[in-house]
Each structure stands twice: as structure tokens, then as C-alpha cells.
A and B are shown apart, each in its own frame.
Chain A
Amino acid sequence: MALLRVERLKAHYLVDVYGIRRAVRAVDGVSFQVEANSIFGIAGESGCGKTSLIKVLSATLRPPLTVQEGKVIYDLGNGGTDILSLDEEGLRKLRWEFLSYVPQGSMNVLNPVRRVRNTFRDFVRAHRVAAPSRFLAEVTEHLGHLGLPPEVLASYPHQLSGGMRQRVTLALATILNPRLILADEPTTALDVVVQRGVIQLLKKIHAEQRNTLILVTHDMAVHANLTDRLAIMYAGKIVEEAPTAEVFGNPLHPYTRYLIGSLPRIGDKAHKVSAPGAPPSLASLPEGCRFHPRCPQAMAECRQQEPDLADVASGHRVACFLHGQARHG
């Protein structure tokens, strides 16, 4: 079975504004599967719900973000566990040992007044009992694997550059050898040369630990370099999902086409156009297909009905009426 199966997941931010209840529909009916040992990418613009989705998957969601309906089933070796049914103790065990979550801006998570070595020690202690004599050797070996010099252990976070801190955080996230790593924008805010190093590092971790990686970033070039499968999110929904090469080579959803078509490349001066208009607010979504106000190919039915994410070819799913599919509701 798949390592992770998400079924019709809805997670909304419920907010009270002067007594009026409003729902910000950040994740609104998302279904997908992630196979073990793969790298799965989630792409989308700011405010499309990709970080909210990761928070649900990593069981780190806090109110006002609440799950409305749906299932998040992990293969923990006993026929599938829905994490939304787990209690606090079950979740605690799940986090970091089975999965590890690298949140956005994680290069700033290191405690500024503790040396990196002590952060590692706290971290390993909180999760399992390691003999103190073994601990340092284990950590040094792990860092060596990831190409980090042992000197970082004796440093304070402010003595390290942003890229170095990001690599230390990734080392921290992978030291317990998790089955699944959820990384949210791990290369954003890094310089290109360092970004390339971090991408290289993620590839290496994936190859050595043979685990699964879910990567969230708005940067399509990072997806092209790293992921096997790619899901494109728009306004709380997945609009297209296919093998990464397929998304870049044969994008079908008009939104994906704009996204891929407007990517600048060195050596190409051809005129690029952006999608017209702007993404909708998740608090007041348009009727019908959420992209229709910006879509140059919108038809009458696009304004009334929401297209389902349906298979158009083997392993290629699109939510668009242009690609002949059964209508619903």
C-alpha cells in the first residue's frame, strides 16, 4: 500500500470576526497518494494552502486550523492508521520517529543561546535513550555523512551562515532516520549556490536513508530538480497531479500552463506572459472552478460547477472541464 493516502481532506481556519463565523478554506477537498521511497512535490503560490496541508500531514495543526472532514492514512506497518484518530501520545510517537517536519524558515529554529551540540543532545534524549558515550560519535558520523564539518557542533547558531543553519536543521531532522520527511520551503531565502548545496543534500539523504520526502515549495525549478511526482495547488485544491516530467512536458490545466510557460530561462528571451488577474482570497472563493475568473478558456459550466480531479492518462490527474471528464454536483 502507499505510504500516505489522503482522502477528501478539508481543513479550514475558523475565525470569529465580531461574532460572524468565517471559514478560510485553506485545504478544501484534497486527495492524493504518496508511494514509499519517492519524492513528492507540492507546488503553488503563496496563500494556496500548501503550508496548511503540510501542517495537517505532520499532525502539527493548531486552532484556528481544524480538519473538517477526510482522512490522512499512514502505512505504519499495521494496515494503515488514520492520524486524525490518534491521541496525543500516539501523535507524539508518530512525529519525528516515523515522520519529521522541517517547517518554513527552519534555519531560525536553533536555540540562539545553546551550542549546536546541546541542541542535538536535547533532541536525541527527548526521543530515545542513547548512551552518552555513543551519542557524540553518532552525531559526528551523521554530520560527516551530510558533508558538515564537526566544528559546527561547538558553534552557536549566530556563528553559522543561513545556509549552514539550514543544513544543520536538516541533519537534526534526519538523525533518527525517519520514514517520511516533510519539508516546507527548505531552500527559500538561500543564495543560489547554497540552495544547490541543500538540494544536493536532500537528494543524498533520500538516497542513503531510503525514505520518502514530501517537498513543498513555490519554486518550480527546485521541483524540476528534485521531485518524482508533482501536485499543483490552486486556491485550496489540487488542480493537477502527474509525474514531474509530465507536468513540465505536457501541462494540461490552464493554470499549470501559465505557471510553466512563464518560467524565465537563461538563453531564452521569448516574451512570457503571466496569468491575468490575481489568486482569489480563500475566505471568499468564486463559484464553480476556482480558476475560471482568470482562465482565458473558461466555459459556461466552469462558472457553475467544480471540476473533479480525474485521471486523463495513466498517473496524470487534472481538474478541468477542458479535459473531458464526468461532472459532479
Chain B
Amino acid sequence: MGDQGSTLLSAEQLTKRFMLGGGLSRVRLVAVSRASFRMGVAGPEIFTLAGESGSGKTTLARMVLGFVEPSSGSLQFKGRDVTRIRGRARRLAFMKDVQGVFQDPFDTFNPLKRIESYLRETALNFSMAATGKQAERVVDEALAAVGLTLQEIKGRYPHELSGGQAQRASVARALITRPALLVADEPVSMVDASLRMSIVNLFRTLKEERGISVLYITHDLATAYYVSDRIAVMLRGTIIEVGSVDQVLREPLHPYTRLLRASVPEPDPHGTWSEEIALGALEIKEYAQTGCKFAGRCPQELAVCRGTEPPEIETGGRMVRCHLYR
């Protein structure tokens, strides 16, 4: 256990349950199950939450942003419990420190407002500036940090920007409050291929030059490897492996991480797959499964896997939730 005070974000046994349907057909869905991780223990870092659709990575991100209240467990930001922030002033201080960047940059902005006035109002609302003049300076600074100039934005409405420009502008919006943590949920999946790396590089620059940590949520393991320091892989609500990207993506331990890693198509015509994989027959109710969520698809399944959920096992500087490593 590290020193609580110096850790930027720490989640302990974090769980979110949703109730679906009503009346007799109520179903309990555990979207995030006892997730524990820490980020920013030794200075700013880019931490990836990777997983397929339905793995719970967005729900976890929304809990970090304070949009969704956890059902149980604790979530601490700079040593303070995020779920017990009371009062407008303290709430505002938390929102300033933790900002989000989302998948669709055009959804970030009001379509009827010019981008610059939206950014200026953000600066005023968060009291980053007292006067319009000051606000303009704050906006200029944020735009410069993402490599946009005021000329590119001046007088423009969101739909007049390209996808790449709009995503930069939404990162600029997040930077206005000088946050310590950016939560970026699939920030490049809607950006054109020829511009994607420029956004990814931006996160690297923000970390190196401004000391901003980034919680990068993605399904794309290749950009995750490129940009992040550490990675957590999620499967059906459970974090199954955490470690440095080099460890986890180059020598994955968990059979699911291995399958995921092997399924990323290589952009190389000579590196195509030789063996075939078997796909699940019909929808398996993996959420409801007791024990390991991967049991049933796992090539190395043990007798214990179906009944007992594997504990968190620390091995060689990483965590893996798999009975194989007991």
C-alpha cells in the first residue's frame, strides 16, 4: 500500500450494480465488480482501461468523473473520498480537477453556440477568470496547449470544424480548469485515421509538459500500447489484469488478455493469423456467471474456475485474476 496522500486516484473494491426492468422481471446487472486500481502513484501517468463493449469500462470512467454513484467500495481522488463530496464549492473544486473528454466531440459543444463563446463561458463559470478579457486569455492558453489557434476557431460553430479540430477543441475545453486528471472515453474512435495519432500524441504532450494524468478508456490496444504507461484489462465488469503496457500486452498472463492480444489485426500483410479461433456459439450469460467470467471460453479452464471467482494475484509487478497463477 502506497502513501494515500501522494496517490492521484485510487479505487478500492469499487462496484456498481444496475437494476434493469421493473416489476417481476427485475434483473440485477453488476456493471463493475470490485474493481481496484491506483493511478498517479509516482508522478503523472497515462493509465488505460481496456475492454470490449459491455466490459464496464465506461461505467467505471463515469464513476471516476462523479456522474454515477458507486454501489459499494471506495474511490479516492487526492486522498479524498469522491462519493462524499458535499457542498457546491467543494463539488466545483473536484470538477475543476477532474475533467472529461468524450467519444463524439460534436456532442461536447452546444451546436447553436460559437466554440469560442462556449469556451469563454466555461472559463467564467468555473471562475477561472473574473472578466471577459481574462477569460479570453485563459481560452487562448488552452487552445495553444492543444495546438489550435484562435483563427481556426474564431466565429465558428461546432459543425464547421473537422472531427480532429473538434476533438482538439473539446480537449481545450477540458484544460480550461487546469485539471490534474483527464478522463478520456474513446477519444479517437470517431476521429479520421490520418488525424488519430495527432490526438493521441496530444495526451502524451499534456502528460510530459503539463503533468496531467490521463485515464484513457479504449477498446483499441494498439493506441493503448503507444500512449500509456500502465493498463488494466476489463472483462464483464471485472478487472482481470493490471500492469505496465509492455508486460500486459507483450507477455499477457490472463488467457482472456492473450485472446484479446492475439485478435488485434496486425497492420502487416505478412503477419496474418495462421490458426483459427472458435467463437462463442450463442450469447453466454457471462455477467451472471459465478466464478471466473471467462470460464466456458477459456482454453485452460480448471475445475475450480466455474465455481469460485479468482482472487487478485500479485505476480512480478502486476496483478492478474486467474486461478492458473495461484
Contacts and interface: CB of A to CB of B under 8 A. Distances in A.
Interface stretch (A13-21, A84-92, A270-278): A270-278
Interface in A236-252: 244-245, 248-249
Contacts of B268: 224, 248, 265
A195 interface: yes
A248 B264 CA distance: 17
A50 B1 CA distance: 53
Nearest to B279: A197
A126 B282 CA distance: 29
A147 B263 contact: no
Interface stretch (A28-36, A127-135, A186-194): A186-194
Contact of A266 (B196, B249, B279): B249
Interface in A152-205: 152, 155, 159-164, 191-197, 199-200
Interface stretch (A97-105, A214-222, A296-304): A214-222
B158 to A, nearest CB: 14
Contacts of A46: 163, 192
Contact of A193 (B164, B197, B259, B269): B259
A220 B267 contact: yes
A274 B267 contact: no
Contacts of B197: 262, 264, 272-274
Nearest to A248: B269
Interface string A110-153: 00000000000000000000000000000000000001010110
A45 interface: yes
A80 interface: no
A224 B267 contact: yes
A244 B270 CA distance: 10
Interface in B114-160: none
B223 interface: yes
A164 B279 CA distance: 9
Contacts of A221: 222, 264-267
Identify which of A152, A160, A163, A266 gathers the most chain B CB atoms within 10 Å of its CB.
A266
B86 to A, nearest CB: 40
Given A45-B192, A161-B283, A272-B201, A267 B250 contact: yes
A200 B276 contact: yes
Interface residues of A, number: 52
Interface string B175-207: 000000000000000001111111011000000
B129 to A, nearest CB: 30
A158 B280 CA distance: 17
B162 A279 contact: yes
Interface string A14-58: 000000000000000000000000000000011000000000000
A248 B272 CA distance: 13
B263 A196 contact: yes
A3 interface: no
Nearest to B227: A264
B243 to A, nearest CB: 14
A259 interface: yes
Given A220-B193, A225-B272, A274-B198, A269 B225 contact: yes
B265 A224 contact: yes
Contacts of B282: 149, 151-152, 155, 160, 164
A265 B263 contact: no
Nearest to A162: B53
B37 interface: no
Contacts of A264: 197, 200, 222-223, 225-226
Nearest to A263: B267
A147 B200 CA distance: 38
Given A225-B266, A267-B225, A255 B272 contact: no
B24 interface: no
A168 to B, nearest CB: 12
Nearest to A267: B250
A260 interface: yes
Given A46-B192, A258-B194, A279-B192, A199 B265 contact: yes
Given A255-B194, A262-B197, A275-B195, A196 B281 contact: no
A194 B277 CA distance: 10
Contacts of B162: 278-279
Given A195-B263, A224-B272, A248-B267, A45 B279 contact: no
B196 A274 contact: yes
Interface in B240-274: 249-250, 259-261, 263-273
Given A244-B269, A278-B165, A262 B196 contact: yes
B52 interface: yes
A265 B193 contact: no
A192 B279 contact: no
B198 A163 contact: no
Top-4 shortest CB links A-B: A278-B162, A221-B265, A191-B52, A274-B198
5 contacts: A192-B219, A200-B277, A220-B267, A225-B266, A278-B192
Interface of B: 52-53, 162-165, 192-198, 200-201, 219, 221-223, 225-226, 249-250, 259-261, 263-273, 276-277, 279, 281-283
